[in-house]
């Protein structure tokens, strides 16, 4: 491959992330701005610097309040740290790698049983990669719909609806997980974009969480 062809391949790689980010945040400038504001800035905007709003009855309470003074709903939230979320994701990936390996062995055994030998390794590899993608997204979408993957269970964190801290919908789960495609950019340093947004967000939200309107919090709060 010549230097010119290498450059041609490299250009789309560096252009694609900004394009995807613009598409995601089109007409969502408020969300993008909020992701990089501090607690103080957001409090000043709401003019409620010493109060926190109950998601159940919308009553404002002192920032140190644990339960709402009006309805008794628990209002104190502890957002999951980047370390906890990263470790949970790594645990999930290790588990998935084991599943991927088992899937590959099963495909090889099936091929040998049917044909007596490996006839088409390229086709087998393609089928395996497609199955891996299906398993990957099905694992996260189905388990996170109920709040926790295996990794999140181990780390004691869960996913909830941003507006009421209840169980998320399938659409929210699908949205936040499909947006992993963006959050994991650049793939040479997986998750850098997601980490930047989580670090800059008051609620520790990556792009998938911001768009899907979900939160990752400590389970027992």
Q: How confident is the model over 197-221, as pLDDT tens digits? A: 887 778 889 999 999 999 999 875 4
- Secondary structure (H, E, C), the chain: CCHHHHHHHHHHHHHHHHHHHHHHCCCCHHHHHHCCCCHHHHHHHHCCCCEEECCCCCCEEECCCCECCCCCCECCCCECCHHHHHHHHHHHHHHHHHHHHHHHHHHHHHHHHHHCCCCCHHHHHHHHHHHHHHHHHHHHHHHHHCCCCHHHHHHCEEEEECCCCCCCCHHHHHHHHHCHHHHCCCCCCCCHHHHHHHHHCCCCCCHHHHHHCEEEEECCC
Q: Mean pLDDT over residues 135-163, rounded? A: 94
Confidence band for 160, pLDDT divided at 50, 70 and 90: very high
pLDDT of residue 106: 93
Question: Alpha-carbon Rg of the chain, whole angstroms?
Answer: 22
Name the more confident of 119 and 206: 206
pLDDT of residue 164: 77
The Cα–Cα gap between 92 and 96 comes to 6
Share of the chain above pLDDT 70, in %: 69
pLDDT of residue 24: 55
The Cα–Cα gap between 159 and 177 comes to 12
pLDDT of residue 201: 79
Is the C-alpha dihedral spanning 57, 45, 217, 193 positive or negative? Answer: positive
pLDDT at 26 over 90: no
Confidence band for 79, pLDDT divided at 50, 70 and 90: confident
pLDDT of residue 101: 96
The Cα–Cα gap between 210 and 36 comes to 12
The Cα–Cα gap between 112 and 66 comes to 61
Lowest-confidence range among 44-58, 79-93, 123-137? 44-58
pLDDT at 176 over 80: yes
Share of the chain above pLDDT 90, in %: 38
Q: Mean pLDDT over residues 127-155, rounded? A: 95
Q: How confident is the model over 37-47, as pLDDT tens digits? A: 444 443 443 44
The Cα–Cα gap between 98 and 67 comes to 43
139-167 as b/e: b if 16+ CB within 10 A: bbbebbbebbbebbeebebbbbbbeebee
Confidence band for 184, pLDDT divided at 50, 70 and 90: confident
Q: Mean pLDDT over residues 141-150, rounded? A: 95
């Amino acid at each position: 491959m010549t230097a010119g062809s290498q450059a041609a391949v490299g250009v789309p790689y560096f252009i694609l992330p900004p394009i995807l980010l613009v598409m995601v945040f089109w007409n969502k400038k408020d969300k993008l701005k909020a992701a990089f504001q501090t607690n103080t800035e957001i409090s000043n905007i709401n003019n409620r610097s010493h109060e926190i709003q109950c998601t159940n009855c919308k009553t404002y309470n002192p920032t140190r309040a644990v339960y709402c003074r009006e309805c008794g709903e628990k209002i104190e939230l502890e957002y999951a740290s980047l370390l906890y979320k990263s470790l949970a994701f790594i645990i999930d990936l290790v588990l998935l790698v084991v599943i991927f390996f088992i899937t590959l062995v099963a495909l090889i055994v099936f091929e040998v049983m049917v044909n007596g030998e490996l006839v088409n390794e390229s086709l087998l590899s393609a089928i395996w990669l497609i199955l891996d993608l299906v398993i990957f997204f099905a694992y996260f979408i189905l388990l996170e719909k109920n709040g926790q993957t295996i990794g999140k269970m181990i780390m004691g964190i869960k996913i909830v609806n941003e507006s009421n801290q209840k169980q998320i919908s399938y659409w929210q789960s699908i949205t936040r997980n499909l947006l992993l495609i963006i959050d994991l950019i650049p793939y040479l340093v997986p998750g850098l974009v997601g980490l930047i947004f989580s670090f800059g967000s008051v609620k520790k939200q990556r792009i998938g969480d911001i768009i899907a309107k979900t939160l990752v919090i400590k389970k027992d709060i």
